């Protein structure tokens, strides 16, 4: 699904959160109090993470979303600027900036509770302003941490202007067939794919079946990320499995965001979908070896080969 030889922009419509992260030996049972080992505050939010991931990898990135007028907003806006993301379309509102409460256990797994705050204010006019201002079509990235009506509008509006649309359906929710038919690539993880396909997804074989089910619901291409089992890609032209790189995971919080940001970057550079998936897998493998969301995302020079088309994993 290349966009041609000239690099196209990436437009991210999504959430901006401050991540409050605590490391624990294990997750507490209901009603149990345990001691944490380390606490940190990081810029995050699935939308902002994906924007930063693409920005660090060399894409021309624009961010649409909402933050408050508080100290957290300042941290998020500085992070976007420091990571080559144009924040001209990020609107400040009266509501508090969104917050994510994240616990990371000794195996690098996480649990996340999100308080949307200002993210709930992201609306259709924010999207329209950005599309009109950018002009040239490229790759649109959307997720589910902003209002569903805004996601649906972004998909329809961008598609009508010739953009390629990537949806990361997180948190999981059902999608209308009308929206699915406009999505070029949908990228769920195992639990999100389970929700969409109506079946458990635990293995590569499960993911292949689930991908076919989601494909038949209307999406043009399905990529299911499987953590240390790699990723399954499925379209009308075929199916393929890209194994994961072998690394020691420290924190998986932004692995999916690293993957999607890299996927979009590769598409803007005219690479094939399989080439982009390999490139994305390398970026995600680096992210899980470091703590935090945005701080863990790799820069282009950290990848073994700076051309997505020549990644060999």
CA-nearest of 269, 232, 44, 291 to 222 is: 232
Q: Are 20 and 41 in contact (CB under 8 A)?
A: yes
Distance in angstroms (rounded) separating the CA atoms of residues 124 and 150: 5
Active site residue 257: yes
> Token pair of 45, please?
């939010």
Distance in angstroms (rounded) separating the CA atoms of residues 56 and 130: 21
Cβ neighbourhood burial of 132 (10 Å; 0-12, 13-18, 19+): exposed
Alpha helix ranges (H) inside the chain: 46-56, 71-82, 124-134, 148-160, 177-180, 190-197, 204-216, 255-268, 273-287
Q: Are 100 and 68 in contact (CB under 8 A)?
A: no
223 contacts: CB under 8 Å, gap ≥ 6: 185, 186, 187, 211, 231, 232, 233, 234, 263, 277
Under DSSP, the state recorded for 191 is H
The active-site residue out of 126, 206, 251, 257 is 257
Catalytic site positions: 257
């Amino acid at each position: 699904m290349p966009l041609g030889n000239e690099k196209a922009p990436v437009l991210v419509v999504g959430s901006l959160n401050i991540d409050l992260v605590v490391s624990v030996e294990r997750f507490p049972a209901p009603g149990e109090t345990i001691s944490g080992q380390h606490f940190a505050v990081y810029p995050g939010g699935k939308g902002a993470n994906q924007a930063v991931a693409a920005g660090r990898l060399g894409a021309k990135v624009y961010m649409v979303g909402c933050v408050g007028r508080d100290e957290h907003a300042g941290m998020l806006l500085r992070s976007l600027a420091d990571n080559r993301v144009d924040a001209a379309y990020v609107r400040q509102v009266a509501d508090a900036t969104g917050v994510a409460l994240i616990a990371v256990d000794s195996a690098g797994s996480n649990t996340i509770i999100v308080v949307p705050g200002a993210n709930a204010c992201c609306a259709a006019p924010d999207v329209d302003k950005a599309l009109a201002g950018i002009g040239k079509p490229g790759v649109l990235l959307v997720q589910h941490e902003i209002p569903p009506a805004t996601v649906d509008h972004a998909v329809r509006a961008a598609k009508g202007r010739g953009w390629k649309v990537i949806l990361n359906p997180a948190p999981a929710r059902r999608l209308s067939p009308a929206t699915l038919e406009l999505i070029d690539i949908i990228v769920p993880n195992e639990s999100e794919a389970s929700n969409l396909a109506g079946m458990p997804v635990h293995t590569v074989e499960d993911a292949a079946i689930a991908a076919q089910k989601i494909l038949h619901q209307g999406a043009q291409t399905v990529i299911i990320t499987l953590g240390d089992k790699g990723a399954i890609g499925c379209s009308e032209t075929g199916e393929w499995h890209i194994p994961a790189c072998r690394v020691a995971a420290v924190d998986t919080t932004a692995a999916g965001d690293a993957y999607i940001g890299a996927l979009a970057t590769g598409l803007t550079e005219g690479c094939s979908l399989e080439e982009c998936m390999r490139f994305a897998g390398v970026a995600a493998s680096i992210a899980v070896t470091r703590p935090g969301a945005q701080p863990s995302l790799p820069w282009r020079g950290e990848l073994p080969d700076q051309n997505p088309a020549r990644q060999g994993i």
